[in-house]
Structure 1
């Protein structure tokens, strides 16, 4: 037991840890061993086109990293790598003669950073003496202690900076629109406040690792990502945005992990089993947990015993209304690995805008429920939703936006790629006796045109998009541009800087790639869904 708790310190003394390529000799798969560099690629080559070319040549790579006129391509074994070098080197592709050679593997980011830190070891002693709990707060809640008015000003400034960059892109993407606006896009309005600024976060993903101050297994937050060279995990009980019930659940799980015979998972050498835990809460007092573990080489009997121990803990704690486990290998992809329910209900429920929503374990739901109500009312207001409106809720998830605005609309259509989310949305509509909503599973770019074909030209059609952080898929943006019946569009972004390409593409000059009239930004409003952090949602009204 004691030895398990000190594995992190021991790992730091392993000879291999000074070598940034030591991971290549460890057990377990890494495609970095089978990487090639393909150079002299055609200009303006899309990822889809490149994948099709490789498939036509008989290759299905494990990973592709485009770098402009060249790309790194990782295969699943040495045979495929050698075959690619032999077959693709010198091949003509869209007028370019390809050059293929073995590529150097990527350095382990943690070892790379450790070596950098050793070289730059003259770090300010005051910084090194800061307790890890304070470091965690500095990373997680950087605006803690700052007056809310100042936080709101900073968030408005952030959106203004993004829009200045957007404006500069528009000079080239749509010069006539840029000139017609006198070089100015819409002004950024004041940040809309959250009704609550403490204990608001209803979902958190906690890492299970080692606290460097006491060398004990800890359920908490990392100081930084592994990619940035950090494995250390710090405590979270002092963080003001977490509900007290969540803090209680984390403490119980932490005690269970420390008493177990297994160590936390170490992403550097892939030992240990406990990886992370996702905790969701509701205002009704429900508590759902998804405990993610690495199965290592456990036999079925050992896995059964492990799950039995977790079940006993869940029952004894009396904290959780739903508890799931997920066994996941070294490569992280939660959505692709099946969940197994060990205890309790399949869902939790949350009230939003006087409606009750069923939330499944992997479903998207805004993390600040009270502020989400403010956000959705704002969306309805700036889009001028009324009883003549037909609302297209694109990337609808469990239907929260469309259902919240349904009583203000003539009809709501929700489109979502994930079938389980559509099941939740359909259930939520029935449970709330809402009859003017229809939810459709599939890709938005495929469903939008078919849906609009059945609507009249005189219908007032409003689109609302709430895509993932990176923004809309290009094909979805193209479909929205082609949809001439959509005259008004509201874009909800949780990271305006990451989504800026989508804004630019919506506003580009008409072309073969982006047909249809461009959308013009008319209003932009930051909404403070995440008090005491540097993040905010941005609501943008586009019209054409």
Structure 2
């Protein structure tokens, strides 16, 4: 949500321009072929709702306003999850409840009902990004999760859990990970930043054990549910920051089985303590790093792997982007 080309601050779409250039505008996505029709429909309805609202949009926190970004998630099952982020400013609980009721009514009984949402979530947040633990995602309507199928497995997805937006592309990516890992039946797979467990669970039948690490607690709950639902028993998932979990886990590693590490972090990359822990573990035979923005912080991680203290890491292969978006 930001100012559109016509200056309307209640425009819902995607950003064009840069903050440095001070020329950011928000443009609608109607003309974009790589945006699903359902996403466009929900965005149009949300724009209609906030333009009717007596409350303003929140473009810059210090300037006030309330209505912020919209996240839309869809699956091949036909499920649609919409997540509205709202800055409470100085509103009391009674006023907040009234706004949530209006939003729910719009998407269940009003014009937004045409979207047929599976889940409608609302999050009160005073930060750009906020976890469920800091500010809970409140379910206003529908089911708490949506579901997606990947490589014959069914995955449950919570509102704040990472999941690749291009499912078909993700399947190509995970198959490439399987081939590049060269994992055999005695291999232990270490899945760093595992999200809902998609990579580890998709490779579980090819390895002896999967260990997943993820900072988002709800994603870990999803991963454990996904493993149980799909009848996969050789997986364990640890909740916490990778830089806190991995050094302790790997420093005491005594398993004789070969270990393959797969790292799939956000654009922020991985902490230097994670790099050090991986380089210090002699059991790790192969490291796969997946990045949606290799020219950013990932490049710093690549350099750290080459020059930091510990065992040497030799780059063997670099592949172009296999999965559209992250």
TM-superposed CA distance for 1:282, in Å, is 0.9
For 2:101 and 2:307, locate their aligned partners in 1 and report how far apart those are by CA, in whole Å: 57
How big is the shift at 1:416? Answer: 1.7
- State which of 256, 263, 281 in structure 1 corresponds to 2:74: 281
Of 69, 77, 87, which aligns to 1:294?
87
> Over alpha carbons, which structure has the higher Rg?
1
How far the C-alpha of 1:326 sits from its partner, in A, is 1.5
| Aligned-residue offset at 1:309 | 0.7
Q: Corresponding residue for 1:250? A: 43
Q: Residue 240 of structure 1 aligns with which residue?
A: 33
Rounded to whole Å, the distance in 2 between the matches of 1:334 and 1:305 is 23
SS in 2 for 1:489: strand
1:322 to 101, 104, 119: 119
Q: CA deviation at 1:447?
A: 3.6
- Whether 1:504 and 2:297 are equivalent positions in the alignment is no
Q: Which moved more, 1:309-318 or 1:276-285?
A: 309-318
Question: Which one scores higher on RCO, CA 8 angstroms, separation ≥ 6?
Answer: 1
Question: Is the contact between residue 172 and residue 323 of structure 2 (CA under 8 Å) also seen in structure 1?
Answer: no
- State the Cα distance separating 1:345 from its structure 2 match: 1.3
Whole-angstrom CA distance in 2 between matches of 1:299 and 1:505? 48
* Local SS of the residue matching 1:311: helix
User: Is the contact made by 1:222 and 1:230 (CA closer than 8 Å) also made in structure 2?
Assistant: no
- What is the alpha-carbon distance in structure 1 between the residues aligned to residue 10 and residue 154 of structure 2? 38
How far residue 226 of structure 1 moved from its aligned partner, in angstroms, is: 4.4
Match of 1:414 in 2: 212
Shift of 1:477: 0.5
Question: 1:212-269 CA distances to partner (integer Å, 9 max, x unpaired)?
Answer: 3374732112223545424532211111111111111112212222222222224286
Flag the 1:460–1:259 CA change in 2: closer, same or farther, 3 A.
same
Q: Identify if the C-alpha distance between structure 1 residues 474 and 321 changes in structure 2 by more than 3 Å, giving closer, same or farther.
A: same
Question: TM-score, normalised to structure 1's length?
Answer: 0.55
User: Which of 55, 68, 72 is the aligned partner of 1:262?
Assistant: 55
Structure 2 residue aligned with 1:456: 255
Q: What pairs up with 1:197-208 in 2 under 5 angstroms?
A: 208=1
User: Is 1:219 the equivalent of 2:17?
Assistant: no
Secondary structure of the residue aligned to 2:47 is helix
Q: Give the Cα–Cα distance (whole angstroms) in 2 for the partners of residues 325 and 228 of structure 1.
A: 32
After superposition, residues 31-430 of structure 1 pair within 5 angstroms as 208-213=1-6, 215=8, 217-226=10-19, 228-230=21-23, 232-267=25-60, 270-316=63-109, 317-318=112-113, 319-329=116-126, 331-335=127-131, 336-430=134-228
Distance 1:344 1:229, change over 3 A: same
Q: For residues 114-163 of structure 1, what are the alpha-carbon distances to aligned partners after superposition, in whole Å with 9 as ceiling and x for unaligned?
A: xxxxxxxxxxxxxxxxxxxxxxxxxxxxxxxxxxxxxxxxxxxxxxxxxx
TM-score (norm 2): 0.90
Tell me the distance in 2 between the aligned counterparts of 1:486 and 1:344: 44
Contact 1:395 1:414 (C-alpha < 8 Å) held by counterparts: yes
CA separation of 1:414 and 1:216: change in aligned 2, threshold 3 A: closer
CA contact (8 A) 2:14 2:27 kept: yes
Contact 1:352 1:373 in 2 (8 A): yes
Corresponding residue number in structure 2 for 1:518: 312
Cα pair distance change 1:505/1:261, threshold 3 Å: same
- The secondary structure found in structure 2 opposite 1:248 is helix
Q: How far did residue 486 of structure 1 move?
A: 0.8
Give the drift of 1:449: 5.3
The answer to whether the aligner puts 1:444 opposite 2:237 as a matched pair is: no
Partner SS for 1:525 = coil
Distance 1:259-1:376 versus aligned 2 partners, 3 A rule: same
Is the Cα contact below 8 Å between 2:12 and 2:28 reproduced in 1? yes
Compare the two structures and name the one with the higher helix fraction: 1
Q: Distance in 1 between matches of 2:273 and 2:314?
A: 19
Unaligned segments of structure 2, at least 5 residues: none
Secondary structure of the residue aligned to 1:462 is strand
Gaps of 5+ in 1: 1-207, 531-535, 538-544
- The number of residues matched between the two structures is 318
Residue 432 (structure 1) aligned with residue 233 (structure 2)? no
Change (3 A) 1:483 1:228: same
